[in-house]
Structure 1
Amino acid sequence: MPTSSTPASAPSRAPAPSPPSSSSAPASAPASASPPEPPRSGTPGGPPRRPRNPYVRLFAVPGARAFTAGNLIARVPMGMFTVSAVIMIAGSRGSYALAGAVTATGLAATAVVAPFTARLIDRYGQARVAVPATVLAVLGSLALLLCVRYGAPDWTLFAAYAATATTPNIGGMSRARWAHLYRDDPRAAHTANAFEQAVDELCFMTGPVLAAFLCAALFPEAGTLIGAVLLLAGMLLFTAQRATEPPVAPRAAGRRARSPLRTPGMPALLAVFLATGAIFGSMEIVTLAFVDGPEAGPVMALQAFGSFLAGLAYGSARPAPDVRRRLLVCLAAMTALMSLPLLASGTGSLLVLAGALLLAGMATAPTMVTGMSLVQRLTPPGQLNEGMTLAVTALLGGISAGAATGGWLVERAGAGTAYALPVAAGALALGLAAAGVRPRGLPHAPRHADGGTAPD
């Protein structure tokens, strides 16, 4: 699907979720009123103790491993679909311009449709909405495959790929489950958010490589076909775990839920995500242009690998008592580290550039985890899927804008100079966060947020 480049997802890399509380859930809600207690261990006759490793403790909750397995199976294809579509369309029609236009159309359609899909998930539950939405998206992928295979007119490719925009944000739904299970445990919720971001980066690394291998080793449509099968299978496994599904928050009759966009502070935070997405989009296109060869893929993967390692380490750290301040620190670190590829490009050494990208990626996961924690604080209870999907949509928009601007700058100033663009985007994100995300602009301080309470 068109979200393959998100960090976070967004997405992909990037890189979207549900109500944190079940105190007022209807009797038919799939989840219990209280999250299961993770088992404790200890010596006979001694006091029980929790596992010391935060990730062992995280998966001690009954059902966590099962829904995570489904999440991983459904998430890998998010890094496969765009690469598969480009290889399939360009190989059949001989036009990378057409392939790029088709995938860009899918990205635009996702930006429009995804928030509405998330709103339906918040209102009716993950299983009731995600499965039919995934079936529609899979049918769109299969339609694209058939249109390419049998030489249908070009316009049919745009229509088919746009249909994949109904793909639910599987990463966001997984975050919603963790938020529900650990709504009374801020430290475990922090670890869960870090784990999810690390998974985003892992899928970003493996998805494109798997897609390219399948298309080359089997047939050009193999990446799209196998990706669609994995997406549907993973979503069915994920949604079958009803015990961990967040309950649907009841709504008052005749009252329409207000969009999270109208929450004070949310527009400013989404602007930060937009600028952050521009970092990822510009860095990707500039690196492709600078390396200009088969080494580009592995070199770019190092940035995601750095973020993956940092995400796991960040999940073991204590959650921030002041999440806004932590976000500013993370954005400042990201801006500083993004200057390393700019400096490395002057050496002309691919090895030096690879090391710089590895280090540059290490601020990505902490920044995204902290930003998503703020989204959880700003989103009204019962609309977590919609709020986090809006953040992913902003990331996608930033990635698209960053890639376009990066390509323009590469052509006019050269790839080495264009590495200044991610630094500028980082500085913009930092400035937007400092000016627009205020402590008193955090109206919701849910128990599932990272840190437990909003700063005064």
Structure 2
Amino acid sequence: MSAASSALSTYRRIFAEAPGSLAFSAAGFIARMPMSMVGIGMVTMLSSLRGDYALGGAVSATMALAAALLGPQVARLVDRYGQSRIALRATGVTVAAMGALLLCAAFGAPDWTLFVCALVVGCMPAMGSLVRARWAHLYQGSPLLHTAYSFESVVDEIVFIVGPILAVGLSTSWFPEAGPLLATVLLAVGTLLFCAQGRTEPPVHPHAHASGSSALRTRGLLVLVITFVGTGAVFGSVEVTTVAFADHLHHKALSSVVLAVYALGSCIAGIVFGALELKGPLSRRFLVGIITLAVSMLPLLFVKNLVALAAALFVAGLSISPTMVTTMGLVERIVPPAKLTEGMTWTTTGLAVGVAFGSSAAGWVVDAAGASAGYWVTVAAAALSVVTAFLGSRRLRSAPEQQEGARVESDDPARPVEQLGR
């Protein structure tokens, strides 16, 4: 009981010592709901309307690839011109494109119209990066930043618990377009509420971008991005294959519950991880996390029913949140503050590219070889992550130390924790 109280006290501190943090975090939660709803909602919608998992996976993959291309550019504009100014405009474009896509799907427009709309949906701002950039602005250099990142990782997992249930549940029990439609509404409302929290918005750094150099050129960041391509393929293939596997067993609606159990494992791990005071290099923790994630995917090859699948996914989920928290900690450590949002978005871009390939490949394998065969894509993607992380481990070990001088000389204003009187 004392351990639970200690953990709760640790999480309370991150809000108590930073006025306004609860408001932007709550708004960010609403705005992030679409990231767990759009992909699986698109697969569910198009498989119901047109009976084609491959089409649903391809449209979902197109969105992810578009986000990979456009997301870092939107994030770079955010760093240069401010969160509210850019996020509101990007969200407006996304909402319009998603509305057009749903109309095309509902009225039987040609398949190519779905892909055109999906490309524009890629303008969606990476709200998770924007939220974490605010925490970094508030707690840079403080141990509380680890707790804040862990909290946001838990929020992400809650999003992935609630989102698929809503998307699949609404699309299967109400009408096929209901899940993606709700995701669109939540994006609009959440972004508006988030951008209204002006006092916690990080400062802009227009002159830091005058050279035109990208955050991707930062030593070590490319290793994280490529590793996350494999990790994203794990996530994308698990989603598509789980829906198909449940459908094969005539329980398609339960796929959202199984995926929620997957996210629940990550959520629990994230809560515990955030309350720990860990020592040792972040690069080592990152490599251990990726290896653990890969090993935990192997049991998926042997499941025969939904109960066994849920149990296997719960165990697999335990490694996700700690790995994500460690990754964001590495990004915050190695990327200059003036390019932090872009740096974080590059990691989510890696995930998006991976999700695109993973969901598309899994959809193709499912259609060609059966539902459970899609989990071979998952295992192969996890192996790719391990190989990349291992080969790049030396660059990650050296990157934080090399960036310390750059951070000290940064044009970032006085640390906000000092402004808060700490």
Fold match, TM over 0.5? yes
Letter in 2 for 1:165: G
Equivalent of 2:257, from 292, 298, 317? 298
RMSD value over aligned CA atoms? 2.8
Equivalent of 1:119, from 71, 76, 80? 76
> Given that residues 94 and 121 in structure 2 are in contact (C-alpha distance below 8 angstroms), is that contact kept between their aligned partners in structure 1?
yes
**Residues 1:212 and 2:168 aligned together:** yes
Give secondary structure in 2 for the equivalent of 1:166: coil
Report the CA distance shift for 1:70/1:265 in structure 2 as closer, same or farther (over 3 A). Answer: same
Higher percent of residues as helix: 2
Report the CA distance shift for 1:201/1:102 in structure 2 as closer, same or farther (over 3 A). Answer: same
Give secondary structure in 2 for the equivalent of 1:374: helix
Give secondary structure in 1 for the equivalent of 2:317: helix
Report the CA distance shift for 1:89/1:416 in structure 2 as closer, same or farther (over 3 A). Answer: closer
**Residues 1:234 and 2:234 aligned together:** no
**What is the number of residues matched between the two proteins?**
394
Inter-partner Cα distance in structure 2 for 1:252 and 1:432: 30
Report the CA distance shift for 1:297/1:216 in structure 2 as closer, same or farther (over 3 A). Answer: closer
Equivalent of 1:309, from 254, 259, 268? 268
> Given that residues 201 and 307 in structure 1 are in contact (C-alpha distance below 8 angstroms), is that contact kept between their aligned partners in structure 2?
yes
Letter in 2 for 1:238: F
1:162 matched to which residue of 2? 119
1:337 matched to which residue of 2? 296
Give secondary structure in 2 for the equivalent of 1:184: coil
Inter-partner Cα distance in structure 2 for 1:205 and 1:133: 26
Paired residues for 1:133-282 under 5 Å: 133-185=90-142, 187-251=143-207, 255-282=210-237
Paired residues for 1:65-76 under 5 Å: 65-76=22-33
Q: Tell me, which stretches of 5 or more residues in structure 1 are unaligned?
A: 1-49, 449-456
Letter in 2 for 1:277: G
2:86 matched to which residue of 1? 129
Inter-partner Cα distance in structure 2 for 1:303 and 1:329: 20
Shift of 1:92: 4.7
Give secondary structure in 2 for the equivalent of 1:382: helix
Inter-partner Cα distance in structure 2 for 1:314 and 1:284: 25
Shift of 1:408: 5.5
Shift of 1:121: 0.4
Shift of 1:113: 0.9
Give secondary structure in 1 for the equivalent of 2:33: helix
Name which of structure 1's ranges 405-414 and 434-443 shifts more when overlaid on structure 2: 405-414
Inter-partner Cα distance in structure 2 for 1:221 and 1:400: 21
Report the CA distance shift for 1:194/1:412 in structure 2 as closer, same or farther (over 3 A). Answer: same
The share of aligned pairs that are identical, in percent, is 44
Shift of 1:202: 1.4
Name which of structure 1's ranges 130-139 and 274-283 shifts more when overlaid on structure 2: 274-283
Inter-partner Cα distance in structure 2 for 1:197 and 1:298: 20
> Given that residues 141 and 228 in structure 1 are in contact (C-alpha distance below 8 angstroms), is that contact kept between their aligned partners in structure 2?
yes
2:398 matched to which residue of 1? 440
Normalised to the residue count of structure 1, the TM-score between the two structures is 0.78
Shift of 1:341: 3.1
Letter in 1 for 2:346: L
Report the CA distance shift for 1:223/1:260 in structure 2 as closer, same or farther (over 3 A). Answer: same
Name which of structure 1's ranges 80-89 and 414-423 shifts more when overlaid on structure 2: 414-423
Inter-partner Cα distance in structure 2 for 1:367 and 1:214: 31
Report the CA distance shift for 1:242/1:307 in structure 2 as closer, same or farther (over 3 A). Answer: same
Letter in 1 for 2:276: A
> Given that residues 269 and 437 in structure 1 are in contact (C-alpha distance below 8 angstroms), is that contact kept between their aligned partners in structure 2?
no
Q: Which has the larger radius of gyration?
A: 1
Give secondary structure in 2 for the equivalent of 1:365: helix
Report the CA distance shift for 1:425/1:150 in structure 2 as closer, same or farther (over 3 A). Answer: closer
Q: CA deviation digits over 1:261-316, x for unaligned, max 9? A: 22222222222111222322333344445443324332232111100110111111
1:369 matched to which residue of 2? 325
> Given that residues 228 and 385 in structure 2 are in contact (C-alpha distance below 8 angstroms), is that contact kept between their aligned partners in structure 1?
yes
Inter-partner Cα distance in structure 2 for 1:85 and 1:414: 20
Inter-partner Cα distance in structure 2 for 1:374 and 1:205: 26
Letter in 1 for 2:9: N
Q: CA deviation digits over 1:375-419, x for unaligned, max 9? A: 222322211111111111111222232334445666777666764
> Given that residues 169 and 256 in structure 2 are in contact (C-alpha distance below 8 angstroms), is that contact kept between their aligned partners in structure 1?
no
Report the CA distance shift for 1:199/1:266 in structure 2 as closer, same or farther (over 3 A). Answer: same
Shift of 1:85: 3.6
Shift of 1:138: 0.7
Report the CA distance shift for 1:232/1:252 in structure 2 as closer, same or farther (over 3 A). Answer: closer
Inter-partner Cα distance in structure 2 for 1:150 and 1:409: 29
Inter-partner Cα distance in structure 2 for 1:69 and 1:142: 25
